[in-house]
Amino acid sequence: MSYVDEVIEMVIKQNPAEDEFHQAVKEVLESLRVVIEENEEEFKKNAILERLVNPERQLKFRVPWVDDNGQVHVNTGYRVQFNSAIGPYKGGLRFHPSVNIGIIKFLGFEQIFKNSLTGLAIGGGKGGSDFDPKGKSDREIMAFCQSFMTELCKYIGADTDVPAGDIGVGGREIGFLYGQYKRIRGLSEGVLTGKALSYGGSLTRTEATGYGLLYFVDEMLRSNGEDIKGKTIVVSGAGNVAIYAIEKAQQLGGKVVTCSDSSGWIYDSEGIDVNLLKEVKEQRRERLTAYAAERDSAEYHEGKGVWTIKCDIALPCATQNELDIDDAKTLVANGVIAVSEGANMPTTIEATEYFLDNGVLFGPGKASNAGGVATSALEMAQNSQRLQWTFEEVDLKLKTIMQNIFHNVDDAAKNYGFEKNYVIGANIAGFEKVVDAMNAQGIV
Ligand code: NDP
Ligand code: 2IT
């Protein structure tokens, strides 16, 4: 049995019932087969893959909090400090009822390679809780965040581990988490990113993942003789990533006709009104039915359906495995030319292969959504300098980083004879730097 197959088998055996983690490991290791097989004995002797798939540290803790009626609840908190070979652990916190250790490990594992691709000095980590922020009052959110940070603050710091947002964690949550960290540790430091501008945040961080996704798509299309201008685009999700993907897609001349949340989806024949979407989701924290109620050109449908709409470009920006093989077949039959992931692992392995086999340009999340964490690293740099850069400065850096990521990924794919396979390109390019750093630092 090959080394890659041995390690995949070991991961499945040692981490039972962690399907998403198995999926992420399989996807990465399958891509690396060509690199590993060039030098299998050496990689095996140094147990590189075993060290890569085992987190350096994995924390699990109790998070008790009191609701507005005086009822006590207990949630589970997690932080997986996966790999610090190239810098402090860096990665978001997800608050969603579906969170479990397998989900956090898949996200942390992906983050290692994504962060490597940014070219910045950040290692991989991820955390979160099965807490559901939906329908909670601001006071309940604060109570939960304070309790979560009371435990987490023992393990993080500006030079050790720097969490940020992800699903269910935005500016409000980061504020409460930061306040509690500072109160307990007495440190005003860049321990979290995604902070508000008034206490150390970076301009462009809010927009960064969505904008970065479009900078990546723009570069991918251009290098294949295409252009965003005039293209019909479908987006899923209606959160941080989706909103700013829609905004930048429109600025670049695309027409975005859909968005979705976990209850249903919108088809807007006139193109999504991004200001109305921001008001509904960011300010009023309402469902998409509220968007449809205020917009004549919008149809609201219950359930899942954005991938049924005929489009040139599809951007999954909600959650893992939201685009499966049937969706991929529908998109291809409808003439899609590019799919790029705003979310983490939104496309199943089968669907990804179908896109690649059918000549669809496919931007894997660890490359195409890296703009968020890259801008987080720029926030860390500003915090260390105790300076704040302008919007234009950060935005230009973000754009350059995304263009560089595309070209590094493209080059890695070409070097190994897999031209236009950006999945293989991203995994190889991300892996090479991490392995280099791991080898240089010895067996640690
Ligand atoms: P938000 O919480 O802001 O938004 C998430 C959106 O996805 C909401 O519209 C939500 O709907 C929808 N969604 C979440 N879970 C599900 C589900 N199980 N089924 C259907 N819809 C769902 O999160 P973000 O926009 O920050 O994150 C979106 C994705 O992007 C995630 O995969 C995240 O890991 C990834 N990502 C985020 C980055 C960031 O900087 N924020 C950076 C890189 C990747 P509802 O409100 O109904 O739950
Ligand atoms: O998945 C991701 O890259 C994020 N949620 C952002 C992480 C970060 O540290 O900004």
How do residues 392-417 score in pLDDT, each as one tens digit? 999 999 999 999 999 999 999 999 99
Q: What is the pLDDT of residue 258?
A: 99
CATH number of 208-363: 3.40.50.720
How do residues 274-301 score in pLDDT, each as one tens digit? 999 999 999 999 999 999 999 999 999 9
The per-residue pLDDT of the chain, averaged, comes to: 98
CA of 79 to the centre of ligand 2 (A): 13
SS3 179: helix
Closest residue by Cα to atom 29, ligand 1, is 343
Beta carbons within 10 angstroms of residue 140's beta carbon: 18
For 232, phi then psi, to 5°, come to -90, 130
Check: CB of residue 2 under 8 Å from CB of residue 40.
yes
CA of 394 to the centre of ligand 1 (A): 23
Mean pLDDT of 214-228: 98
Beta carbons within 10 angstroms of residue 422's beta carbon: 26
How far apart CA 114 and CA 397 sit, in angstroms, is 17
Q: Which amino acid, residue 57? A: R
How do residues 345-359 score in pLDDT, each as one tens digit? 999 999 999 999 999
How do residues 125-150 score in pLDDT, each as one tens digit? 999 999 999 999 999 999 999 999 99
Check: CB of residue 221 under 8 Å from CB of residue 227.
yes
Closest residue by Cα to atom 2, ligand 1, is 167
CATH number of 3-189: 3.40.50.10860
CA of 165 to the centre of ligand 2 (A): 6
The set of protein residues with a Cβ atom below 6 angstroms from ligand 2 is: 90-92, 114, 164, 166, 193, 344, 372-373, 376
How do residues 155-189 score in pLDDT, each as one tens digit? 999 999 999 999 999 999 999 999 999 999 999 99
Beta carbons within 10 angstroms of residue 316's beta carbon: 32
In angstroms and rounded to an integer, the radius of gyration of the C-alpha atoms of the chain is: 21
Say if ligand 1 is within 6 A of residue 80 CB.
no
| 61 beta partners | 77
Do 3-189 and 208-363 come out as alike in CATH topology?
Answer: yes
Listed by start position, the domains of the chain span 3-189, 208-363
Is 126 catalytic? The answer is yes
